[in-house]
Amino acid sequence: MNEQHDDERTRIRAAIECLLAGQPTNSNGSLTAVALAAEAGVHRMALQKRHADLKEEFYARVRAETHQTPEVEGRLRKEVVRLKEALKDSRAAEATSRNRAEQMALAAAVLILRNPDSQDQTVPDNIIPLRPSGD
């Protein structure tokens, strides 16, 4: 590891302590990765990519020491709930559409078989009459 990498890790660890103590100096003090990067004076992507372990350590400490769910996790949980609802609604709409399509196919088959001109037309092989013809 190079000196810059070690310096960033030292600053991130110090920033974790500042944020958890509620004494931010370079950020808004929120318990987020963005605030942690600002507090440490490192680019947010450096925290996300090169120091992901420290970011995860930070979130673990937020959960353990403050008994709070990290803001990012809370947003993701809400998004999961929203997406599950959307999936449920989508599946219900699909079932309704499938049911309507089946009803329309049955109605079309009945109309084809009951049409007075149907004597001149041949019935497709994939249609089974509900009643025998000649009734």
Instruction: Report CA-CA distances (Å) from 85 to 5, 76, 90.
Output: 43, 14, 8
* Residues 39/19, Cβ–Cβ less than 8 Å: yes
Mind listing the pLDDT tens digit for each residue in 38-81? 999 999 998 889 999 999 999 889 888 887 777 778 888 899 99
Q: Give the chain's length.
A: 135
Whether residue 63 lies inside any domain: the answer is yes
- Please identify, among 26, 50, 68, the residue that sits at the C-terminal boundary of a domain: 68
Clarify whether residues 64 and 82 are in a common domain. no
Q: In this structure, what token pair is assigned to residue 53?
A: 């372990």
| Predicted structure pTM score | 0.53
Could you tell me the residue range of the domain that residue 41 belongs to?
3-68
Assign 32 a pLDDT band (cuts: 50, 70, 90).
confident
Same domain, 37 and 81: no
